[in-house]
Amino acid sequence: MSKLCFNIAMSLDGYVAGPDQSEENPIGVGGMRLHEWLFPLAVFRRIHGEDDEGGEVNASSGVVEGWFENVGAVIMGRNMYGPVRGPWGDDPWRGWWGEDPPFHAPVFVLTHHPREPLEMEGGTTFHFVTDGVEVALERARAAAGDRDVSLAGGASIARQYLAAGLVDEMELSVVPVLLGGGERLLDGIGAELKLEQLRAVEAPGVTHLKYRVAR
């Protein structure tokens, strides 16, 4: 069976997003500081369709490349998909990423409000799932075949999958900043979560900690 994996950047005080998330601040106030190590990387620029000439290559490069290897489907929460709330309306939000999102695979968006699938350029189709985290995972695994499912976030959806015991591997990219508020990844998970460390990679501005979730 394919693995359910996720990666997320986290501040030293445990936040994966700053306070007051909005269209102007999609990761909350100050949240972009969690990704300052990522944006200059050549691999990040290439994945997002930018010219990677002059992009940086360092110890984070191989880690980031690994996030996109063997991924056959993606799951995300509605907050990750966009800042809109309630019914989708007549001119619904089409995502943060333009007409050619970087996923290039089926993406299953958890929401309380039904919506027809949205086919984008580059092989990405957004499917909107109203039946909960387990159904979304079943559909994602069926779409992924023998490849893995990537859990793109945000924190609330990641917590739900962790609490349900459905995550196989996770990677925390710990950034030496303090946000002082916002959204924590592990609030309410409890001491029953058991992790086996697989690796630790030190890189400029970040340390990547990869874990297997013990059953």
pLDDT tens sequence across 38-50: 999 999 988 877 7
In a domain, 30, yes or no: yes
CATH of the domain at 55: 3.40.430.10
The domain total for the chain is: 1
In this prediction, residue 190 carries a pLDDT of 80
Question: Residue type at 38?
Answer: L
In a domain, 121, yes or no: yes
For residues 75-84, give the mean pLDDT: 91
- Does 33 have pLDDT greater than 90? yes
In a domain, 93, yes or no: no
Confidence band, pLDDT 50/70/90 cuts, at residue 52 = low
- Residue 66 lies in domain: 4-85+101-213
Average pLDDT, the chain: 93
Confidence band, pLDDT 50/70/90 cuts, at residue 53 = low
In this prediction, residue 49 carries a pLDDT of 72
